[in-house]
Amino acid sequence: MKTERILYFDSPGKENTEETMKAALERAQALNIKDIVVASTTGATGVRACEVFKGFNVVVVTHHVGFREPGVPQLLKPNEEKIKSLGGKIFTGIHGLSGVERAIRTKWNTVQPVEIIADALRLFGEGAKVCVEIVIMAADAGLVPVDKDIVAIAGSGSGADTAFVVTPVHANNLFKMTVREIVCKPRTRA
């Protein structure tokens, strides 16, 4: 049996970003993990992760282009450039736990299985769902290994408030994914 510390935030939000990064770095170092996946909409959290995890394989996963407005990315160009200059990689693509199913729900007012999975993961918080989702996305893009643990960092809206140690899988093996450790998460949902 092993005992590890889990950091619980009183509430979700970007004010937890620095503590989340610090806790995630400590676990990555303790476990000799070199691959970090972080969710970032505008790129601000991605930049911070690249600064904190210097020398790691940092993959910043952004919203797909057109998420809010057709043809428009949410990743800000200065942040994109900074992430790249710090050695980070950027993945922008279809969401791993919604994608086309969101279009089906919107058009026919019905729910599909992948969105049910996403909602079930939200029982642990928005960041928990996003951690699982970005791991799938990064694995499917070949940006992280699927044969060793990585650290996933996400948040509830903006910033970061959740971090997991995860054994990644590709989307076609979702139910073989293992969330090995909860590093930190909010005690409440947004």
CA distance 62 to 60: 6
CA distance 132 to 103: 21
Q: What is the pLDDT of residues 64-91, one digit of tens each?
A: 888 889 988 999 999 999 999 999 999 9
Is the CB of residue 20 less than 8 Å from the CB of residue 160? yes
Is the CB of residue 21 less than 8 Å from the CB of residue 153? yes
How far apart, in Å, are the Cα atoms of 57 and each of 16, 20, 39, 137, 151?
22, 18, 14, 15, 11
- 161 alpha carbon, distance to own chain's centre: 10
What number is the average pLDDT over the span 6-30? 97
What number is the average pLDDT over the span 26-41? 98
pTM (two decimals): 0.95
pLDDT of residue 106: 83
Contacts of residue 93, Cβ cutoff 8 Å, sequence gap at least 6? 64, 137, 141
pLDDT of residue 157: 86
In the structure encoding, which two tokens stand for residue 51, read together? 């600064």
Which residue is listed with tokens 């930049």? 47
| Confidence bin at 104 (pLDDT 50/70/90) | confident
In the structure encoding, which two tokens stand for residue 35, read together? 């691959």
Give yes or no for residue 128 having a pLDDT over 80: yes
Is the CB of residue 74 less than 8 Å from the CB of residue 46? no
Q: What is the pLDDT of residues 148-188, one digit of tens each?
A: 999 999 999 899 999 999 999 999 999 999 999 999 999 99
Give yes or no for residue 129 having a pLDDT over 90: yes
Sketch out the chain's domains with CATH numbers.
7-183 (3.40.1380.20)
Query: What percent of the chain is predicted at pLDDT more than 70?
Result: 100
pLDDT of residue 87: 98
